[in-house]
């Protein structure tokens, strides 16, 4: 159960895992996530599914080492199994024919964005993808995104690859050049906040996929609550995607730090 | 499952029962004082998250208490039991010293006696309809303590009896969720010969018994023993599986499942919608208790974190609120407070829990309601504003309605707030079935007597129907659903 059949290192801290999960592989749709627990002592952590092969019965997860739990997962190898894996969770992305879609992915956010890009392309849209990261090594899944995009723009903070600058610089250049009907933003909360501010200026409907703190992932705990349009929603059952222009990103960023002091202690103990 | 009068009468007329009744005069029986539960010292017990407060009765205590029971010809106590335990039978077995037989009698109708003996609100159920309570205005027979005694005795004896199971009828059925409603349902259906699979979304089986109720009230190993019994009887458990998500109902039907019992619980915590409620350090009781109970967050060896507050406020007056505040005390809170908008008399929590909380130094700020939270520059809660309440006329629940006393606001410094003001039904199942009839509150609508939903092969019970109740009411639903699903499937297979 949940055996890792392939592991590809994207960088020192980012890896792709192909995991045996036949039922999830068959039922998942773009936008869905899973909750997993590496071992008996582990946390339950959410990860958005980056792809699936229903025939082989596998799903793709992309993991970035940021804390104890992601580090434990990162260290697993082909042949190892993830103790607990449940899903697919959350609401699937609403994919339809809208015209031109601008997909903005930051860092490992490109992984969950990939199936969405694929979905929009297959639905007959023109898709322009902007991939952004701190440097060249952290740009992931470029070829895969390219396969489902009419155009791919690469942005790096240090200019080591593509154009130097943040995601919004690349996005704005596209918006100023041609009409965009819908925008998708997935990545770090700050990146989504600024992407959202940009598209709001141009009145482009935008969906952002949130990476809130979760425990159960089924609506039970409320750790993942987020303010959207002044109302509180649960990211796990109401999301993970919401109308970006209505999201209170500052609150989201604040809430993502809700256990930072506990996490720091755990990290020190782990090392 | 027979609980009819004739059956009870026959049991009561068995020789051993008749002899036992003659042994002690009723006058002598009623003159005895109710036994007191042996408890761990409050100052000692608050140091441990996982040590049980109640220590159980000794055999002598249990037999003496059982002797108080008059073995009434019309055992009204049973009317108060949602799973119709043959109470006089098991109590009299205890009096006779046949403790293993007492445990067997419990298991005729209850899948979880060691659990019920610990967490049932007996004062509102069997003990409230005991002859002593109703007719003599005396303390009732301690039925709950005795139930626990019999179940514990059996477990510790090493001679656990496994209830008899009918030969397999080959009919596949599923229970969704693995809490008390499902376990009770599964126990009854496996006895009837069905092929029963229980699907659970979490990694642990047991539902609220595992993620919700703390170990100082219900140790996990007690739950595991009861789960093992069900496994030995043939019930299959599948964890990490969300029906309606991992697979659809249609997939399960294609795999041969002929009927479903949905007991997916009240998995959506309610918040109050007041300013500042999304600050860090303010969480639902579900989150807090799940972190500590299911994820072992209080232990350094486990990866899941939990916030350890010094000044902890728990909002609410139910059992979940008591569980949360007593957990906070055990995790080192200097001030652990209950903030409740009505008075102690209206508190829905079990009397014993409130009493234990008081012994442990929990502060009760009753007739008070939070109206706003404040935080430091990092967004971590540091203060709450509370409004004084008065009590008005009784409301629909029969309890006096809290009314706001204007201009009575005051602030309390807090660094952890746990909101325990109730739960809403989990939307996962209803949203997976478009033709399922649900109420405006999101609960699944079922026939009151049949537990059958608008989809004939789908039955439901527990909190997904009730919207937030007790372990034993959920178990009662499970039994009722089992009986009616059995009838439904038998008529279909004729």
What would the pLDDT profile of B348-385 be if each residue is shown by its tens digit?
A: 998 889 999 999 999 999 999 999 999 999 999 999 99
Chain A residue with the nearest C-alpha to that of B243:
A87
Residues B461-490, mean pLDDT to the nearest whole number: 92
pLDDT higher than threshold 90 for residue A261: no
Integer Cα distance of A150 and A133 in angstroms: 20
What does the pLDDT read at residue B268?
A: 87
Cβ separation B268–A216 shorter than 8 A: no
- Measured between alpha carbons, how far is residue B317 from residues A150, B77, B125, B340, B410 in Å? 59, 27, 19, 6, 20
What does the pLDDT read at residue B4?
A: 78
Contacts of B303 in chain A (CB under 8 A): 41-43, 68-69, 72, 266
- For residue A81, list its beta bridge partners: A3
| Burial of residue A200 (number of CB atoms within 10 Å: 0-12, 13-18, 19+) | middle
Chain B residue with the nearest C-alpha to that of A226:
B278
Q: What is the pLDDT of residues B232-272, one digit of tens each?
A: 999 999 999 999 999 999 999 999 999 999 999 877 899 99
Q: What is the pLDDT of residues B24-37, one digit of tens each?
A: 999 999 999 999 99
Contact status of B239 with chain A (Cβ, < 8 Å): yes
ipTM of the complex: 0.94
3-state DSSP percent of chain A in helix, strand and coil, to 5: 30, 30, 35
Cβ separation B287–A24 shorter than 8 A: no
| Burial of residue A29 (number of CB atoms within 10 Å: 0-12, 13-18, 19+) | middle
Q: Which residues contact A40 (CB under 8 A, 6 or more apart)?
A: A83
What does the pLDDT read at residue B2?
A: 44
What does the pLDDT read at residue A53?
A: 96
| Other C-beta atoms lying within 10 Å of the C-beta of residue B302 | 17
The DSSP line for A169-194 is: HHHHHHHHHS--SEEEEESSHHHHHH
For chain B, what is the mean pLDDT? 93
* B35 to chain A, closest Cα gap in Å: 39
Model confidence band, residue B3 (pLDDT cutoffs 50, 70, 90): low
Of B239, B245, B290, the CB nearest to A216: B290
3-class DSSP state of A223: coil
Q: Identify each DSSP E strand in A38-114 by its residue range.
A: 45-48, 51-53, 58-64, 84-89, 100-106
Residues A89-100, mean pLDDT to the nearest whole number: 95
Q: Percentage of chain B surpassing pLDDT 70? A: 99
| Other C-beta atoms lying within 10 Å of the C-beta of residue B94 | 27
Segment among A233-247, A257-271, B174-188, B271-285 with least mean pLDDT: A257-271
| Other C-beta atoms lying within 10 Å of the C-beta of residue B360 | 18
What is the gyration radius of the CA atoms in chain A, in angstroms?
18
Integer Cα distance of B73 and B10 in angstroms: 11
* B57 to chain A, closest Cα gap in Å: 34
3-state secondary structure B312-331: EEEECCCHHHHHHHHHHHHC
Cβ separation B304–A215 shorter than 8 A: yes
3-class DSSP state of B151: helix
Integer Cα distance of B42 and B55 in angstroms: 12
Contacts of B305 in chain A (CB under 8 A): 259, 262-263, 266
Contact status of B432 with chain A (Cβ, < 8 Å): no
Integer Cα distance of B358 and B177 in angstroms: 34
Integer Cα distance of B12 and A141 in angstroms: 75
Contact status of A44 with chain B (Cβ, < 8 Å): yes
Q: Do residues B91 and B141 lie in contact, with contact meaning Cβ atoms separated by under 8 Å? A: yes
Integer Cα distance of B265 and B464 in angstroms: 5
Q: What is the pLDDT of residues B185-236, one digit of tens each?
A: 999 999 999 999 999 999 999 999 999 999 999 999 999 999 999 999 999 9
Cβ separation A225–B271 shorter than 8 A: yes
3-class DSSP state of B195: strand
Q: Do residues A48 and A32 lie in contact, with contact meaning Cβ atoms separated by under 8 Å? A: yes
Q: Do residues A263 and A239 lie in contact, with contact meaning Cβ atoms separated by under 8 Å? A: no
| B108 or B141: which leads in pLDDT | B141
Q: Pick from B190, B259, B213, B264: which is nearest to B442 by CA?
A: B264
Contact status of A136 with chain B (Cβ, < 8 Å): no
pLDDT higher than threshold 60 for residue A3: yes
Tally of residues, chain A: 271
Residues A118-133, mean pLDDT to the nearest whole number: 96
* A219 to chain B, closest Cα gap in Å: 5
Cβ separation A254–B280 shorter than 8 A: yes
Q: Pick from A159, A169, A173, A174: which is nearest to A195 by CA?
A: A169
Output the pTM of the full model. Answer: 0.93
Tokens, residue B302: 């486990």
Contacts of A269 in chain B (CB under 8 A): 300
- Measured between alpha carbons, how far is residue B73 from residues A47, A143, B12, B29, B87 in Å? 61, 81, 8, 16, 12
Model confidence band, residue B179 (pLDDT cutoffs 50, 70, 90): very high
H or E, element range at A18:
strand A14-20
Contact status of A232 with chain B (Cβ, < 8 Å): yes
Q: Which residue has the tokens 């080492």?
A: A65
| Other C-beta atoms lying within 10 Å of the C-beta of residue B63 | 17
Phi, then psi, of B370 in degrees rounded to 5: -70, 145
Integer Cα distance of B31 and A148 in angstroms: 84
What does the pLDDT read at residue B1?
A: 40
The pairing of beta strand B363-366 with beta strand B368-375: unpaired
Integer Cα distance of A59 and A238 in angstroms: 23
Q: Which residue has the tokens 């809490």?
A: B179
Q: Pick from B193, B171, B180, B206: which is nearest to B457 by CA?
A: B171
Q: Which residues contact A22 (CB under 8 A, 6 or more apart)?
A: A57, A58
H or E, element range at A7:
strand A4-9
Q: What is the pLDDT of residues B407-452, one digit of tens each?
A: 999 999 999 999 999 988 888 888 888 889 999 888 999 998 999 9
Q: What is the pLDDT of residues B146-158, one digit of tens each?
A: 999 999 999 999 8
Integer Cα distance of A129 and A150 in angstroms: 8
In chain B the domains, ranked by start, together with CATH numbers, are: 5-38+48-157 (1.10.1060.10), 172-267+425-493 (3.50.50.60), 269-423 (3.50.50.60)
pLDDT higher than threshold 60 for residue A254: yes
Cis omega (within 30 of 0) on the bond before A88? yes
Across chain B, which distance is largest between two alpha carbons, in Å?
A: 75
3-class DSSP state of B437: coil
Integer Cα distance of A108 and B206 in angstroms: 36
Cβ separation A68–B303 shorter than 8 A: yes
Integer Cα distance of A46 and A86 in angstroms: 10
């Amino acid at each position: 159960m949940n055996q890792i059949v392939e592991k590809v290192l994207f960088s020192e801290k980012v890896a792709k895992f192909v995991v045996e999960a036949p039922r999830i592989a068959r039922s998942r749709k773009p936008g869905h996530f899973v909750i997993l627990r590496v071992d008996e002592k582990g946390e339950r952590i959410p990860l958005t599914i980056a792809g699936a092969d229903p025939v082989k019965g596998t799903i793709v997860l992309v993991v970035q080492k940021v804390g104890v739990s992601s580090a434990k997962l990162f260290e697993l190898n082909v042949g190892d199994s993830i103790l607990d894996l449940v899903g697919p969770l959350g609401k699937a992305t609403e994919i339809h024919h809208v015209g031109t879609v601008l997909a903005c992915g930051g860092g490992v956010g490109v992984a969950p964005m990939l199936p969405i890009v694929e979905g929009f392309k297959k639905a007959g849209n023109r898709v322009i993808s902007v991939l952004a990261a701190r440097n060249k090594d952290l740009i992931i899944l470029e070829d895969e995104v390219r396969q489902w995009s009419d155009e791919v723009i690469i942005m790096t903070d240090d200019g080591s690859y593509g154009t130097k600058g943040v995601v919004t610089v690349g996005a704005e250049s596209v918006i100023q050049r041609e009409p965009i009907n819908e925008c998708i933003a997935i990545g770090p909360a700050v990146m989504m906040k600024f992407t959202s501010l940009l598209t709001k200026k141009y009145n482009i409907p935008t969906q952002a996929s949130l990476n809130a703190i979760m425990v159960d992932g089924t609506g039970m705990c409320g750790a993942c609550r987020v303010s959207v349009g002044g109302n509180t929603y649960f990211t796990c059952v109401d999301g993970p995607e919401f109308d970006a222009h209505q999201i209170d990103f500052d609150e989201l960023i604040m809430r993502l730090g809700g256990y930072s002091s506990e996490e720091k202690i755990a990290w020190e103990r782990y090392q | 499952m027979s609980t009819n009068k004739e059956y009870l009468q026959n049991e009561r007329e068995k020789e051993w029962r008749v002899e036992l009744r003659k042994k002690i005069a009723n006058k002598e029986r009623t003159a005895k004082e109710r036994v007191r539960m042996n408890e761990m010292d409050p100052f000692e017990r608050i140091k441990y998250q996982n040590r049980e407060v109640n220590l159980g009765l000794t055999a002598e205590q249990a037999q003496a208490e059982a002797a108080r029971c008059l073995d009434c010809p019309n055992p009204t106590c049973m009317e108060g039991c949602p799973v119709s335990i043959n109470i006089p039978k098991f109590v009299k077995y205890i009096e006779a010293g046949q403790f293993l037989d007492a445990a067997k009698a419990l298991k005729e109708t209850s899948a979880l006696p060691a659990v019920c003996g610990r967490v049932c609100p007996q004062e509102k159920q069997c003990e409230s309809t005991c002859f002593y309570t109703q007719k003599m205005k005396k303390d009732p027979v301690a039925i709950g303590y005795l139930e626990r005694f019999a179940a514990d005795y059996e477990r510790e004896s090493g001679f656990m009896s496994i209830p008899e199971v009918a030969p397999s009828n080959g009919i596949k059925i599923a229970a969704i969720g693995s809490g008390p409603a499902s376990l009770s349902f599964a126990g009854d259906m496996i006895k009837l010969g069905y092929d029963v699979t229980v699907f659970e979304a979490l990694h642990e089986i047991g539902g609220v018994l595992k993620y919700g109720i703390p170990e100082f009230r219900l140790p996990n190993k007690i739950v595991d023993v009861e789960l093992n019994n069900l496994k030995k009887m043939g019930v299959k458990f599948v964890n990490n599986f969300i029906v309606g998500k991992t697979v659809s109902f249609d997939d399960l039907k294609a795999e041969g499942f002929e009927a479903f019992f949905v007991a997916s619980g009240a998995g959506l915590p309610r918040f109050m919608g007041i300013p500042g409620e999304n600050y860090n350090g303010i969480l639902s009781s579900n989150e807090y208790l799940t972190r500590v109970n299911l994820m072992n967050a209080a232990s350094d060896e486990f990866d899941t974190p939990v916030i350890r507050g010094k000044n902890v406020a728990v909002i609410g007056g139910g059992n979940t609120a008591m569980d949360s505040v007593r957990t906070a005390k055990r995790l080192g809170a200097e001030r652990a407070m209950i903030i409740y908008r009505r008075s102690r008399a209206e508190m829905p929590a079990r009397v014993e829990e409130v009493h234990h909380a008081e012994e442990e130094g929990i502060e009760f700020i009753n007739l008070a309601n939070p109206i706003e939270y404040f935080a430091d520059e990092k967004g971590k809660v540091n203060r709450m504003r509370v409004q004084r309440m008065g009590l008005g006329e009784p409301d629909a629940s029969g309890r006096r309605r809290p009314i706001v006393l204007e201009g009575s606001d005051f602030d309390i410094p807090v660094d952890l707030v746990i909101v325990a003001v109730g739960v809403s039904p989990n939307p996962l199942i209803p949203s997976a079935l478009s033709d399922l009839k649900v109420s405006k509150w999101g609960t699944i609508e079922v026939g009151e007597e049949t537990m059958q939903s608008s989809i004939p092969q789908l039955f439901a019970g527990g909190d997904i129907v009730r919207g937030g109740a007790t372990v034993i009411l959920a178990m009662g639903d499970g039994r009722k659903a089992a009986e009616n699903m059995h009838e439904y499937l038998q008529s279909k297979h004729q």
